[in-house]
Amino acid sequence: MSISPPDTGAAAGLDKEELRETVAGILDIESADVTDEAHFMEDLEVDSLMALEVVVALEKKYGVKFAESELRAVVSLQQAHDLLVQKLPAS
């Protein structure tokens, strides 16, 4: 059995389903509700504090840092995925 390294992952290996599970877990909702285009605040009723919690958890999990301007752009799973792909080093 191989042990995978900590979650520092490379952009090519960013698993959207794992990201979906992570976000759903933070928000305490079903992962099926976190569709690629579901708007966090409008569709999933995420308040600004929960949105910040999601961002902090993603920064910690993937070892990245988001600029404040980027935070406002992350309103769906797809946008979070796209931003993480940009931030993570390519393998």
CATH class of 15-87: mainly alpha
Q: Compute CA distances 78 → 5, 17, 34, whole Å.
A: 25, 11, 10
Q: Which residues contact 10 (CB under 8 A, 6 or more apart)?
A: 88, 89, 90, 91
Residue 3 vs residue 46, higher pLDDT: 46
Q: How confident is the model at residue 59 (pLDDT cuts 50, 70, 90)?
A: very high
Indicate the domain borders of the chain: 15-87
Q: What is the pLDDT of residue 11?
A: 53
Percent pLDDT > 90 in the chain is 67
Distance CA 51, CA 80 (A): 11
pLDDT in tens, 12-53: 578 999 999 999 999 999 999 999 999 999 999 999 899 889
Q: Is the pTM above the cut of 0.85?
A: no
